[in-house]
Structure 1
Amino acid sequence: MRYVMMICGPESNWAGPEAEELMAAVGTWWEKWHAEGAIVEGGAELQPVSTAKTVRRGADGKALVTDGPYIEIKDVVGGFILLEADSMDEAVAVAATWPGIEAVGDQVEVRPSTGR
């Protein structure tokens, strides 16, 4: 089954002097889990929320596009990874090794795919 692993935290976690060291650790993490078949080809590091557009239903029922995220929040999704696992417990075990959890306090959310 496929799971989406979303990396969440303040954008400042992924910038500055710590980011280069963290990205090296992420590369090692990626290689390990990809070789074991836990990472499906796909996923992406996302650009800052300042580059986002939010599309929602406007008062007239038509799409309304605004700059940036719809809600101002401290923690944002900075990227996502597609995992392949036999169970949620297995997917969570992979996610629990994400280097950013220990290094900068990232949170990782894991959700099963609907398969559609």
Structure 2
Amino acid sequence: MDNNEQVLSRFREDILIRGLSKGTLETYTLNVRIFLTYCNRPVDELDVEDIRKFLQYLIHEKKSLPGTVNTYSAAIRFLFAVTLNLTLNYLQIPARKGAKPSPKC
């Protein structure tokens, strides 16, 4: 795909075709837009290392919660797997472990 706006347009179409919710559409689109802006390169030049660097940025610089990081990760994985039709090694993009709730007495 030629540019990131075309990629985002196709990404939105893919989400709608899958029947995902409007909330998922909005969240995933915003997350992927932020990812692409962070990387500041054409999407066809991005790879797993770019994803890992971005997720580390979210964790260490932005101090994002595990659920937020996992939502970004899911949106980016959808972008690569569905919209770009690229195979990733998902073991290289692990999910964040959340804090366990305190036991109730």
What TM-score do the two structures reach when normalised by structure 1?
0.30
Q: More helix per residue: 1 or 2?
A: 2
Larger Rg: 1
- Greater per-residue strand proportion: 1
- TM-score normalised by length of structure 2: 0.32
Higher RCO (CA < 8 A, seq sep 6+): 1
